[in-house]
Structures are given as C-alpha cells and as structure tokens.
Homo-oligomer: A and B are copies of this chain.
C-alpha cells in the first residue's frame, strides 16, 4: 500500500512554483503551495494539480501551523525570511529541504534540529547545492585532493548592451553579491578579495567566451570539503564585471544615505530602480544556466583533473527558466529520496555538498536532472 505524504511548499516564486508543480505530479504526495500572493497561487494551480493556500510566510505562527501539519516542508521563501522560517519548521520537528538561500549560517540550527528530530538540507539548489555535491564526489576519487573550483552563472540567450544580463530576482540581490567580499581558500589559508575581482576569460563550447570573477559563493563548502585550495566564481558575458565594478567604485551601490537634491538618497536604491527594467527576466525570454566544477588531485601517483560541465536552457515547452529548473531539481530529487527513506541523513542540518560523498544519491540526482534535459559532461584528464 502506498503511503501518501503531506508536502508543504513555502513560496510560489519561480523556483518554489516549479518545485510545487513538479512534486504535485507524484501520486504519493499530497501537496499544498503557500504564498502571500493570490495571483501566484492561481497561476500555479492553473498548470498543476495542487492545493493552494494564501499565507503570510513572514509570520512564524503561520509557518508553525503549516509545518505541524506536514511531513515535509520545501522552503522557497525570500532569503530575508529564510532563517526564521527554517527555525520554526525545525521546532515543529518537521523535515525540510530549503532553497531560500538566507545569508545567515544555517549551522546555528543544527543542535535544535537534532534535538527535535528534524532532518534538514539547506541551500539545496544548483550552487550552492549541486556544484558542491559534484566537488564532493570528485574529492573521493583522489588519494590526495589538491584544488577545486566551481564556476557558475545564469545568462540570457540574447545579449543586450551594456550588461548582457537578466536577473530572475531583484537587482539589489544581485548587487549584494557584487558588494560582499569574496572568500576562498589557497593551501588551507583563507583569502579575502573584493567581489568582481580576478576576472578571467574562459571558453565554454556551445556558449562562447565568458568571464569568471570572484564572488562569495563557497559558504559551507569551506568547512566540509577536503581540498586545500577552493574557489567559487560567477560567470557572465565578458565586460559585465568591469561595468558593475565601475558603478560600485563610484558609489552607486552605497547603502548609506547621501544628501542630494535637497533630500536624502540611498544610491543603491536609485541604482536598483534604474537597473530593474534593464535586468528584468520576463516570461518568454530564453536563458541558460552554466556551471563548471573542476578538481585536481593525486590518484595512483598521478596528477589528475576531473571536470563536470553542467548546462541547461529555458524549457521551450513549459517556459520554465533553466535557473528554476537547475535550482529546483536538486531540491525535488532530494525530497523524493527523503520521502522514500533513501536520503540517508540523520536529524540535524545537512550541508548539501556532503550528499555528494555518496555515489548512489548523487547519481539519482544527476539522472533525475538528465531526465529533465539538463546536460552533464564529465571529463577526466591526466596532467
């Protein structure tokens, strides 16, 4: 007999909506999508068989009630609501797969989750998420892992001057990645560099030349993976970083109010406002997600390089953006394993990359994504 599980998806945005619509297709899941916005709920209900309920997800008592009635919570709320949401779900003792990407360190909830018996995977998207899992797998293929880097970016297919970029979320959230100093590790030492620094040009077959620059994307990987050198970089079409750096260095990203026009203005607010239309990713546009994970190390006395190139495009049939697909699918596939008792994690907060230490779990995720059309290209080179 099939046991039906109650899954609550919190947030019906691009990624949350995709997760809800896909998970709702399984007969053994009774899915409810929660969002503050009725129009968002109506849109998802039109394209999938799922229950919807209007809910204020910034209200922890609302979260507590939802979590109390669910077997699994999929967290897809705005980042600023993420930590409070997850704490409340954990307090209810409910399992959670989260892609809210909140800025705070999720490890602070580990003890609470163990105590409450809640199994939690945070940052379960493409990167953080899948990229770290691939790097984890590679680390097990070396006798002595040496270095690892992850390059990742979401890009529009049509390149428009000056930024050749479209964002599925607010410009302020992208700009935040261009402000926050980037941390990476070289020979075990923590290095801090400005975001947008160390720009290099790299060729990606089928896409062309892209630039890679420092952003602060390693997160928990700095503590969980065994490479003495690790770096994460963001990919954009060439020229993007210099333009953004120019705006940053001139003060257009400043968050301190400035006296101008006889009033007070936060430069970042004007900049976000002016970039909003330029960067807007709207229905019908085509974009792609590209990620390269490469690692080197010693195996059988040989220096070896392992690489995985991941590539995905907007689904031409459904219109789902690659960004929603590649972020949502790792979360969906982890949810499937968790519900089937096959994720193999204990109560507590699990960093997503550690799932990659297990071949079976990672293969399930890769095959599941391939089934959706996401391309994986593995190469191994003796150096």
Contact = CB atoms under 8 A, between A and B. Distances in A.
A257 B266 CA distance: 15
A255 B242 CA distance: 26
A363 to B, nearest CB: 45
A265 to B, nearest CB: 5
Interface in A192-206: none
Contacts of A274: 250-252, 267
Nearest to A268: B261
A301 interface: no
Given A162-B246, A162-B249, A246-B243, A270 B275 contact: no
A264 B261 contact: yes
A290 B226 CA distance: 59
A267 B264 contact: no
Contact of A261 (B245, B252, B257, B278): B257
A39 interface: no
Interface of A: 161-162, 242-243, 245-246, 249-252, 257-258, 260-261, 263-267, 269-270, 273-275, 278
A258 B271 CA distance: 12
A267 B258 CA distance: 13
A284 to B, nearest CB: 23
7 contacts: A161-B246, A162-B249, A243-B246, A257-B261, A263-B265, A265-B265, A267-B274
A261 B266 contact: yes
**Candidate in A250, A273, A278 with the most chain B CB atoms within 10 angstroms:** A250
Nearest to A162: B246
A260 B270 contact: yes
Contacts of A161: 246
